[in-house]
């Protein structure tokens, strides 16, 4: 399946690969597949090593970390000659702290090395990395689950994609039949999510959402939890991480979805759960969106890190955790999770283009689901799960703060009137 991340890999190579490339991201997002596919197409030969599966290779990084010594050790372990111009892909690099440190010396060497690493930076982000991290000596990029644009491409819907982009740019509606077809695929995506294995299974079953193997998403949870044991200090910490993760659907279902520590476990608070929440954030399993006190530029200057919402990294995982059925997401359906699932979906699409997203809730009469900033100013974005047109909070915001325009995401077709841009939920990736 085509991934937009390939462009990052191609640009890295085109720019001369001056620094080793480190690809991070949550488990099962396709890091290994996309890098191996790129290397296989880009180079006549390359070296692949996995520091979790090939534990003996970690010893290559236990001595001197100059590239010649490392390459000589790899040759002896792999039983083949390795010239400096052969690219090296080091998978699960977090299994060896000294392997991460060694990237610095590949960067500083005058020879034209091509080194790509993939894995988790959990050990670094939660301050359990004891070796010297190569700050400024590596290019770090994150791979996210497939967004809806990639999903449509995988489904062979390039013509539909072109139509969605054209309507977004012209702000004119799609034909009703096309709009309804795009909505159906959007509803399917809410259940498949963007994990490549889940999307592939959907395609292998003829794009029939009811024939999908739900065990694929069921099995992600124990896989994630098994991975955490490599980084936690005690079984009690594992339990707290799991409790925190499982609390996200409940928290998103509330009228005010501000994250509350005391709702994870009664009688306990921030002191007990800030560590597990930080672990989940560092692993890429959740995203945090901070509140801003004022919608003024720069938004980052007005953020309140103590007030935030939490989303899961993939809407398919969230829908699976909620345990709802396909019919529960239809236009006329009502359930406690629907609004949170749709909001999670929008954030997943928006995060790729807008890494700095915020929400604004100064009073009960005004709540803006998302704010982002670009060269036009600060843009408010309201999210509706169905086809409702009433926008009291957004109207109050526009009257008070006078944004250049506002966006309402819903199941309504494209349209623009009086500074309000109506964007169908399936076109969130266009924003």
- pLDDT single digits (tens) 119-140: 876 555 544 556 677 888 999 9
Give the separation between CA 28 and CA 151, rounded to whole angstroms: 16
Residues 6+ positions from 317 with CB-CB distance below 8 Å:
193, 195, 217, 220, 221
The rounded distance, in Å, linking the Cα atoms of 317 and 215 is 11
* Rounded mean pLDDT, 25-32: 90
In this prediction, residue 369 carries a pLDDT of 95
At which residue do the structure tokens 């399946």 appear?
A: 1
Q: Which residues, other chains included, contact 32 with Cβ-Cβ below 8 Å and sequence gap of 6+? A: 91, 118
Q: What does the pLDDT read at residue 127?
A: 45
pLDDT (0 to 100) of residue 126: 46
The pLDDT tens digits of the residues spanning 128-171 come to 556 677 888 999 999 999 999 999 999 999 999 999 999 999 99
Torsion of CA 153, 159, 161, 167, to 10 degrees: 180
Can you give the pLDDT at residue 94?
A: 87
DSSP code of residue 313: S
Mean pLDDT over 85-100 rounds to: 93
Question: CA 324, 343, 265: angle at the middle one, nearest 5?
Answer: 65
Check whether the bond before 298 is cis (ω within 30° of 0). Answer: yes
- At 184-214, the pLDDT tens digits run 999 999 999 999 999 999 999 999 999 999 8
**Is residue 58 within 8 Å of residue 95, measured between CB atoms?**
yes
With contact defined as beta carbons under 8 Å apart, do 385 and 342 qualify? yes
Q: CB–CB of 289/381 below 8 Å?
A: no
- Give the pLDDT confidence score for residue 175 in this predicted structure: 98
The answer to whether residue 357 scores a pLDDT higher than 60 is: yes
Average pLDDT in the 297-310 region? 95
User: pLDDT, tens digit, for every residue of 42-88?
Assistant: 999 999 999 999 999 999 999 999 999 999 999 999 999 999 899 99
% of the chain with per-residue pLDDT over 70: 96
Instruction: Kindly tell me if the per-residue pLDDT of 14 is higher than 60.
Output: yes
In this prediction, residue 121 carries a pLDDT of: 62
Q: Cα–Cα distances in Å, from 37 out to 10, 15, 32, 102, 404?
A: 12, 19, 8, 24, 43
- pLDDT (0 to 100) of residue 227: 72
Residue 234's pLDDT band (cuts 50, 70, 90): confident
Give the torsion sign (CA, 322, 148, 413, 380). Answer: positive
Confidence of residue 277 (pLDDT cuts 50, 70, 90): very high
Q: How far apart are CA 29 and CA 3, in angstroms?
A: 11
Q: What is the rounded (10 degree) CA torsion for 251, 252, 257, 259?
A: 40
**What string of DSSP letters covers 203-228?**
HHTTT-GGGS-THHHHTHHHHHHHHH
Average pLDDT, the chain: 92
Instruction: Supply the pLDDT for residue 232.
Output: 76
């Amino acid at each position: 399946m085509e991934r937009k991340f390939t462009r990052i890999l191609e640009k890295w190579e085109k720019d001369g690969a001056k620094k080793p490339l480190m690809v991070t991201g949550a488990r099962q997002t396709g890091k290994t597949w996309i890098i191996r596919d790129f290397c296989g197409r880009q180079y006549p030969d390359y070296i692949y090593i996995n520091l979790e599966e090939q534990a003996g290779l970690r010893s290559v990084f236990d001595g001197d970390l100059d590239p010649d010594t490392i390459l000589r050790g790899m040759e002896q372990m792999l039983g083949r000659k390795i010239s400096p111009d052969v690219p090296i892909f080091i998978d699960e690099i977090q299994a060896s702290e000294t392997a991460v440190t060694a990237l610095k010396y590949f960067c500083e060497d005058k020879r034209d090395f091509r080194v790509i690493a993939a894995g988790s930076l959990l050990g670094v982000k939660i301050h359990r990395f004891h070796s010297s991290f190569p700050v400024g000596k590596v290019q770090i990029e994150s791979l996210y689950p497939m967004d809806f644009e990639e999903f449509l491409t995988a489904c062979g819907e390039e013509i539909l994609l072109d139509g969605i982009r054209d309507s977004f740019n012209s702000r004119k509606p799609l034909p009703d039949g096309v709009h309804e077809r795009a909505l159906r695929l959007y509803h399917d995506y809410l259940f498949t999510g963007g994990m490549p294995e889940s999307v592939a299974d959907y395609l292998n079953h003829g794009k029939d959402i009811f024939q999908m193997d739900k065990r694929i998403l069921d099995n992600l949870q124990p896989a994630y939890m098994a991975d955490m044991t490599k980084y936690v200090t005690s079984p009690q910490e594992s339990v707290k991480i799991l409790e925190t993760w499982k609390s996200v659907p409940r928290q998103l279902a509330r009228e005010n979805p501000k994250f509350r520590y005391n709702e994870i476990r009664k009688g306990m608070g921030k002191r007990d759960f800030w560590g597990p929440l930080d672990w989940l954030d560092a692993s890429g399993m959740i995203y945090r969106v901070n509140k801003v006190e004022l919608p003024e530029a720069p938004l980052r200057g007005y953020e309140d890190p103590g007030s935030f919402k939490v989303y899961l990294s993939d809407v398919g995982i969230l829908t699976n955790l909620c345990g709802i059925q396909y019919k529960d997401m239809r236009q006329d359906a009502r359930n406690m999770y629907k609004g949170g699932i749709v909001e999670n979906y929008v954030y997943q699409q928006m995060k790729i283009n807008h890494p700095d997203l915020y929400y604004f809730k100064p009073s009960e009469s005004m709540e803006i689901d998302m704010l982002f900033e670009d060269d036009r100013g600060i843009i408010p974005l309201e999210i509706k799960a169905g086809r409702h047109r009433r926008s009291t909070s957004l109207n109050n915001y526009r009257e008070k703060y006078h944004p250049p325009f506002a966006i309402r995401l819903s199941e309504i077709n494209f349209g623009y009137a009086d500074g309000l841009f109506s964007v169908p939920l399936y076109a969130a990736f266009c924003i």
